[in-house]
A and B are shown apart, each in its own frame.
Chain A
Amino acid sequence: MIEVKDVRKKFGTQEVLKGISAIFESGKNNLIIGKSGSGKTVLLKCIVGLLTPTSGHVYFDEQDYVAMKIEEKNEIRRKLGMLFQGGALFDSLTVEQNVRFPLDMFTKMSLSDKSDRVNEVLKRVNLMNTNSKFPSQLSGGMQKRTGIARAIVMNPKYLFCDEPNSGLDPQTSIVIDELIMEITEEYNITTITNTHDMNSVIANGDKIIFLHEGNKHWEGDKVSLFQSDNQELIDFIFASDFLKEARDARHNKLIAKIPK
């Protein structure tokens, strides 16, 4: 479980996060949603430690991550996996070397054990026979899947995904979302996904936190999303006329089902 308590972040005079508190539960896909500039990425970076909050606390299983020394943080970081927006694969390494990198760096496993583990996770993300390819030879979806493989190769307790669907077609997006969901449940990982892809939100939002101008404006799940009367959230989720009509149609259908 990850908990953030009253996290604030300022850049100069501009306050990007204005006291965010939330709990992200294990075995669930926790989503952070919001418009561009709402503070999603800054919050995610504060949680993983790429940014230090101006004030507030981030707890990983009740351990205060912000107050830790760099060596202690590195211990926690070895339990983290992160999928970056662009994949963040190492250009000069092949798919196999990319996925094997954390094992090479932090374990004393034999080469054959490492190869077995790499092949296992590559199979898990449906990337067989790509071991010797370089990132530049992969499609966007394959790069994301390689990123997921690298993120889970060390059996992380926490998985962070920064806009996993950006730049992908809807079908590939669904594949990536399903993969993240399956991995989260299979390994009982605390997953935090930063997204503004509405398909992901509606399909996978076990827990959703909606940020608006640096504040937590709403918290709920994919079911309560449709019943919320938070205007900013409604405007954000049902941005197009088509989605608004779909929401009303669903709403009317639900009302019609209520016995008179």
Chain B
Amino acid sequence: MAEYIHASGGPLFHIGRYVLMIKRCFVKPERAIMYWKETLVQMSNIGVGSVVIILLISFFIGAVSAVQFAYNLSASMVPMEFVGLIVKESMILELAPTVSCLILAGKIGSNLASELGTMRLTEQIDALEIMGVNTISYLIGPKLAAAITMIPLLVIIAACTGIYGGMLAGSLSGYVSSSDYLQGVLMSFVPYNITVMMVKSIVFGFVLTSVSCYQGFYSHGSAIEIGKASTRAVVLSCVMVLFADLILTWLLLK
């Protein structure tokens, strides 16, 4: 394993190693209870630990969206109820899954990369290997499981908070009353949009967690390298999330 850490190569090398890493995440665990315990720890770190930042960010995104839409609609003949509809649709289809996952890529991505990088640097991963633990499966598998469970929940919270933030900002700014806004929110509900949001959040959660874990797990060298791996994890996760967003939007909203 250690020589693969030090090996370096082009994009194909990294894609191949990434695919092998993902494959090794799904092998039979040595002891399921240990993996389950680790998954619960990661659910707490990834999910509960990110609630506050998601609430804060999504509230402001919803609020700003509502004010901007209301400002643009104010000069037209379109009724103000549509502000609620537009904010709801944009939060569900794009802003909640994508922006939340970009924020989470920064928070969780750097955290995972530096955690695994430090474990590599201090030989904790080698210690696990020597014991006969499948390190990829034990260290990355529970993080992936936790992310694809908790991130969709965070995205649901983000969507609801954003819609609520829009209502509050709309009424406080005087553009749209709460009742008009809510009327717009309840207008033309499309359940398929919720499916799109959930699919996006699961895929984005998987992408940002696996990319960050890859960067951390295969980092080597000194503390400076861990910093670099952490930065790479955030940047690559963001780019991959945006790329996946484009692909999924094409596929799901054709």
Query: Could you list which residues of chain A lie within 8 angstroms of chain B, going by C-beta atoms?
Result: 11, 45, 48-52, 73-78, 80, 82, 84-86, 88-91, 101-102, 104-106, 160
Contact = CB atoms under 8 A, between A and B. Distances in A.
A86 B131 CA distance: 17
Contacts of B2: 45, 50-51
A77 B126 contact: no
Nearest to B24: A70
Given A74-B134, A85-B123, 18 more contacts: A49-B130, A50-B1, A50-B129, A51-B2, A51-B3, A74-B132, A75-B132, A76-B132, A80-B132, A88-B122, A89-B124, A90-B124, A101-B131, A102-B131, A105-B30, A105-B31, A105-B133, A106-B132
B122 A82 contact: no
Nearest to A75: B132
Contacts of A51: 2-3
Contact of A88 (B3, B123, B133): B123
Given A51-B2, A90-B124, A77 B34 contact: no
Q: Which secondary structure dominates where chain A touches chain B?
A: mixed
Contacts of A78: 131-132
A167 B31 CA distance: 35
B127 interface: yes
Interface in B61-87: none
A86 B130 contact: no
Contact of B130 (A52, A77, A85): A77
A259 B107 CA distance: 79
B45 to A, nearest CB: 10
B132 A88 contact: no
Contact of A48 (B6, B34, B130): B130
B126 to A, nearest CB: 6
A257 B6 CA distance: 55
Q: Which secondary structure dominates where chain B touches chain A?
A: helix
Nearest to B37: A104
7 contacts: A74-B132, A75-B132, A77-B130, A77-B132, A91-B118, A105-B133, A106-B132
Interface of B: 1-3, 6, 30-31, 34, 118, 122-124, 126-127, 129-134
B25 to A, nearest CB: 15
B229 to A, nearest CB: 18
Contact of A80 (B30, B124, B130): B130
A201 to B, nearest CB: 23
A143 B122 CA distance: 13
Contacts of A77: 129-132
Contacts of A101: 131
Contacts of B31: 104-106
A215 to B, nearest CB: 21
A160 B31 CA distance: 25
Nearest to A84: B123
Given A77-B132, A105-B133, A88 B30 contact: no
A84 B132 contact: no
Contact of A82 (B34, B130, B134): B130
A11 B126 CA distance: 19
A88 to B, nearest CB: 4
Contacts of A89: 124
A6 to B, nearest CB: 19
A66 to B, nearest CB: 13
A104 B126 contact: no
A152 to B, nearest CB: 13
B12 to A, nearest CB: 19
B146 to A, nearest CB: 15
A80 B131 CA distance: 7
Nearest to A150: B127
A105 B131 contact: yes
A105 B31 CA distance: 6
A50 B125 CA distance: 11
A89 B34 CA distance: 17
Contacts of A91: 118, 122, 124
Contacts of B30: 105-106
Contacts of B118: 91
A45 B133 CA distance: 16
B204 to A, nearest CB: 27
A102 B131 CA distance: 7
Contacts of B127: 82, 84, 88, 90
A75 B132 CA distance: 7
A176 B123 CA distance: 20
